[in-house]
Each structure stands twice: as C-alpha cells, then as structure tokens.
Amino acid sequence: MNSFGKSAEPPFAAEGGLDAPMRRAEDPYRVLDDLMAAVEALCPAWPQRGQFSEGARMLM
C-alpha cells in the first residue's frame, strides 16, 4: 500500500552526480600504512585521556 501519489516532476537529482574515475589497483594495506604514517607525523604522541571508570574491573 502506497499513500503517496505518482509525482509529475522528475526526481530532483535524476541527472545529478559526478563522474568518478576507476579506483587504482593499489594494495589497500599500503595505502592505510601511508595514511597512518601521515597521521603519526602530524600527531606523534597521543593526548592524555582520563579513565572510563573509577573501578579496576571493566565488564562487557
């Protein structure tokens, strides 16, 4: 059961979008390693953060 009638206008994004080139056949792990090397260069030490709970036991 459809409560909406057929629209007389075409969809707003019928001709929308961009042409995207095919993905290169690169090793995804090498790309991830390059990304992580860039992140490490920008932030070599992680900032301090507090503990999640006061207790010594954390249960799932």
Nearest of 43, 47, 24, 46 to residue 35 by alpha carbon: 43
Task: Tell me 56's DSSP state.
Answer: S
- This prediction's pTM: 0.39
- The amino acid at residue 4 is F
Per DSSP, the three-state class of 42 is helix
* Contact between residue 38 and residue 44 where contact means Cβ atoms under 8 Å apart: no
- Per-residue pLDDT reduced to its tens digit, 5-45: 777 777 676 677 777 787 778 898 999 999 999 999 998 88
- Calculate the dihedral angle through the C-alpha atoms of 35, 38, 39, 40, rounding to the nearest 10 degrees: 120
Q: For residues 50 and 13, which has the higher predicted lDDT (pLDDT)?
A: 50
Q: For residues 53 and 37, which has the higher predicted lDDT (pLDDT)?
A: 37
